[in-house]
Amino acid sequence: MRILGIDPGYATTGFGLVEAEGAGLRLLQYGVVTTPKELPFPQRLEILYDDLTRLVEVTRPDASAVEELFWGHNITTGIGVSHGRGVILLALTKSGVPVFEYTPMQVKQAVVGYGKAEKRQVMDMTRRLLHMERVARPDDAADAIAIALCHARSQSSLLAKLQNTPL
């Protein structure tokens, strides 16, 4: 299964493509989609939509995992990121890719085993699980890889297998 993890944003959106086969995990590709800050906001959203649609066409994921938003102190930024996240969900859905959503705590739990793990712990465990020489950069891409890993590990859990088994 090819899983496209997405760390949503409108200025910078991280992505990570992970292949999961049984217990095996392999990082295929990662990076960021960026939009020029000098453009009007609606045009930035259009670029995000077009670039994400193209990314899906090129990578052909079987599923996508998108992080749910955690509202911090800056509500203005949060609103913009929410708009970007909506565009991302639309692009994935219109491209026919199943969308799964995870909270930051769920990502930490799936990757590190502790829902209140620190960001550096998540990044280091992601590096170890995927046998990477170093942590992916920028952070948005590293976060997206962790989100893809969360989905891979969630889908391979005993509970997920039981839920897919007819009684």
Q: Among all residues, which ones are annotated catalytic? A: 7, 67, 140
Contact 105, 116 (CB under 8 A): yes
Q: Are strands 99-102 and 63-67 parallel, antiparallel or unpaired?
A: parallel
Contact 58, 95 (CB under 8 A): no
SS3 label, residue 109? helix
Instruction: Give residue 1's identity as a one-letter amino acid code.
Output: M
Token output for 76:
């203005």
Contact 155, 20 (CB under 8 A): yes
* Residue showing tokens 């009684």: 167
